[in-house]
Amino acid sequence: MISKTVLETLERFVPRENIRPGEPMSRHTTFRIGGEADCFVEIESTEQLIQLGRYLQMIELPCLVLGNGSNLLVSDRGYPGVVLHVGARMQQIQVQGDRLVAQAGASMAQAARTAWEQSLTGLEFASGIPGTLGGGVIMNAGAYGGEFSQIVSQVKAVDREGNVLELDNAAMEFGYRTSAIKNQPFTVVEVTLQLARGEQDAIQGRMEELARRRKEKQPLEYPSAGSIFKRPEGYYAGELIMKSGLRGCQIGGARVSDKHCGFIINTGKATCEDVRDLIAHVQERVKACFGVELETEVIYIE
């Protein structure tokens, strides 16, 4: 529960209409799962983010920075603190020659569309990933042979003390679904992507091809967090799960997708505990069948 004093102080930094106490997190994750956050705040600028971050640190109140919530599993108990949402109010995109400079709240789909409109190639892989650029860069999101490590030129981030850091590609230390700042108390606020000139029709064709492949192979009709497990070296997680006899396995409202076994879907009323129990069951079965330990991509928030 957020005190009246804290709420009144938050209003000094952001407009009152941007502050929502007791906001269900199920509204802000692609899994459509999660209890109430004590307080949910829409962020409009880097300065607001810095000021709120400093204040919340000073009063030692837990703080979570959220983008599109596409890779999160939030506890049914909700989040005991303040959620700072870097989303629709921080999504400006500028094109500077063959570079795309975007605020962290811009969606990957929006950025890919802007690149296409400007005949810039290199971002097609992200056109169907349901997340923001900030989250995509932190996770080094990728698909169909492309990932952010290939195109990131510079990342602007804010640390816990409110300092603005400028990190080039090397400093980001990108790896498979990770980066140097993934487990650091940094918040990405702006991303510069180095793209290349291309043919607009070819770019559109590639985006349409990837959209068809996603629709054919992924359970897009259900809420999910995308691929639940990282790809184990030498294997495909979905194939191991399928060969373990777990296609369609269900606990509560959580189900291993029949279309793609690497996905766990919310069939309508799944809880966080349903998903966590199903993940544990899948990991145990795959380990027993193949001796492979599946590592999750999804991030737990509790």
Q: Catalogue the active-site residues.
A: 177, 227, 297
**Alpha carbon distance 230, 139 (integer Å):** 12
Strands, E, within 63-207: which ranges?
A: 63-66, 72-74, 79-85, 93-96, 99-103, 120-121, 142-143, 146-147, 152-158, 164-168, 187-194, 196-197
Tokens 């599109």 locate to: 68
The Cα–Cα gap between 52 and 86 comes to 13
Task: Write the Ramachandran bin of 273: left for phi over 0, alpha for psi from -120 to 50, otherwise beta.
Answer: alpha
Query: Under DSSP, is residue 272 helix (H, G, I), strand (E, B) or coil?
Result: helix
Residue 264: strand pairing partners = 256
DSSP annotation of 142: E
Residue identified by tokens 């985006």 is 207
Phi and psi based region of residue 122 (left: phi greater than 0; alpha: psi -120 to 50; beta: remaining): left
